[in-house]
Chains A and B, each alone.
Chain A
C-alpha cells in the first residue's frame, strides 16, 4: 500500500459523523463549520423532536446535545433514549448554556452520557470530547 493511499485511508477512518442538536442556529452553524474544517461530517438540527428522530433513524459517531430547547428539550431526548435506545446515550456530549447542578451532572454520568460541558467551551476541548466518544 502506498503512503498516499494509507494516509487517505487513515483520514477516512477518523472522519466522524456528528449530529448537533441545538436551538441556537448561530451555534449549530459555527460548530458545523469548525467540524468541517477538522474534516468531520456534520448534521445540524435546531429542534429536539427532529434530533431524536435522526438519532433513532441514522447512525452517528457522536451527538452534541443542547439541554434548553423549546417544545422538546435535551432532558426529554435523554429520557426517551433511556427507554427506547439506551445504547445511543454514550455518544452524547451535552453542551449547554444553562446552569446544571452537580447532582444533575452526576445523573447524566450515571445514565451514560459521555460528557457534560457548559458554554462557553474551548473548541479544542469540544473537539477532543467529540473524538473521544468513538475512541
Chain B
C-alpha cells in the first residue's frame, strides 16, 4: 500500500472525498510543502492530535522521517506540539496554514528585494576582468518553463518597449494571463500596440480594456498554430506546444528570428480585419454582398406585391 493510499484509508473518508484530498494534496505541494509534509499536515488536520509514532504507523512513514517532517512543519508554523508524555502533535486550521505560508513567502521576497541592492553595491566594488563582448546582444536564447517565468519575461518586454509591441495569440492564451499584470501593461504601453487574436464572444473578456482599434481578428486557419510577442525589433517570446500541461516558451533576441516572426506577423496583420469591422463582415465580399442585397430587394418586392393585391381586394370587398 502506498503512503497516499494509507493516508486516504486512515483518514476514514468516504470514496467521495478521495479526489478532493488528492487535489488538496497536490495544491499544498504548490505552496512549497513536500508531498510527505502535505500528507502529514492533512492527516493531522483531519484526525486531530496524534503522537509521532501514530502518525508514522498510520501513514506508513519510517519513524525517523516522520520526526523530520513534524519538525519542518513546526518550523513553518502550521503544526504545533502539545507537551506531555508522549508528545503529541496537532495542526492549525487549513485557512490559517495557507495564510502563514503566504505571509512567509511574502517576507522572503521582500528580504530578497532588500538584499538585491546590497549585492549590487558589493558587486560594484569587485574589479572586473572580463570585458563585455560587443556581440553580447543578438544571439541569446532562453527556454522559459511555466506560466510565471513566461509572464515575468513578457511583462519586462512590454515595460521596456519603446516603439512597438506585436502580439499574436489565441484568446485561450490571453485567458491564461487574465488577471495578471501583463494585460494591464499592454493597456498602458506607450509603444504602438498591434494584437492579432481570435476574438470570440466567449473569450473577449480577457482583452477587456485593450483598444479595439489595435486588435485584428485571427482567422480560423491560424488560430492554433503559434503564439508570440515581439518587442520593438529586438526581442521575441514564442510559445511551444510541448504536449504537457505546463506552458513553455522560448525567448530570443536573435535578429534573424525577430525579423522572420515580424514579417509573418505583418503578413497576417495585412490579411486580417479589425475586430471593429465585425458589423461590416457581410460587406467584405462584394459579390456576396451584392447578391445578399438583391435577395433582400426581391423579398421586399414580393411582400409589397402581396400587400398591394390584398389591400386592393379588401378595398374592393368593402366598396361592394
Residues in A lying within 8 Å of B, measured CB to CB: 24, 26-27, 30-31, 33-34, 37, 68, 70-71, 76, 97-99, 118-123
Interface segment, B20-28, B168-176, B219-227, B301-309? B301-309
17 contacting pairs across A/B (C-beta < 8 A): A27-B303, A30-B303, A30-B304, A30-B307, A34-B307, A70-B278, A70-B280, A71-B279, A97-B292, A97-B296, A98-B292, A119-B296, A119-B298, A120-B298, A120-B302, A122-B302, A123-B303
Residues in B lying within 8 Å of A, measured CB to CB: 201, 278-280, 282, 288, 291-293, 295-296, 298-304, 306-307, 310-311, 314
A99 touches B288 (CB 8 A): yes
Residues on the B chain within 8 Å of A37, using CB: 307, 310-311, 314
Contact of B201 among A76, A99, A122 (CB under 8 A): A76
With A34-B310, A71-B279 as known contacts, state yes or no: A121 contacts B302, CB within 8 Å.
Answer: yes
**With A27-B300, A119-B299 already in contact, 4 other A-B pairs whose C-beta atoms are closer than 8 Å:** A27-B303, A68-B292, A98-B292, A122-B302
Contact of B295 among A70, A76, A97 (CB under 8 A): A97
A99–B201 CA distance with the chains assembled, in angstroms: 23
The residue on A at minimum CB distance from B314 is A37
Residues on the B chain within 8 Å of A121, using CB: 299, 302
What total count of A-B pairs have CB within 8 Å? 57
Residues on the B chain within 8 Å of A120, using CB: 295, 298-299, 301-302
A39–B19 CA distance with the chains assembled, in angstroms: 61
A1–B292 CA distance with the chains assembled, in angstroms: 52
A34 touches B303 (CB 8 A): yes
A97 touches B306 (CB 8 A): no
A99–B311 CA distance with the chains assembled, in angstroms: 32
Residues on the A chain within 8 Å of B303, using CB: 27, 30-31, 33-34, 123
**CB of B212 to closest CB in A, whole Å:** 13
The residue on B at minimum CB distance from A66 is B296
Q: Which of A30, A71, A98 has the most CB of B within 10 A?
A: A30
A109–B44 CA distance with the chains assembled, in angstroms: 58
The residue on A at minimum CB distance from B309 is A123
Q: Which 6 A-B pairs have the closest CB atoms?
A: A120-B298, A97-B295, A119-B299, A30-B303, A70-B279, A120-B299
A33–B302 CA distance with the chains assembled, in angstroms: 13
Q: Which of B298, B300, B301 has the most CB of A within 10 A?
A: B300
A68 touches B295 (CB 8 A): no
**CB of B289 to closest CB in A, whole Å:** 10
A99 touches B291 (CB 8 A): yes
A120–B278 CA distance with the chains assembled, in angstroms: 25
A37–B314 CA distance with the chains assembled, in angstroms: 9
Residues on the B chain within 8 Å of A30, using CB: 300, 303-304, 307
A26 touches B310 (CB 8 A): no
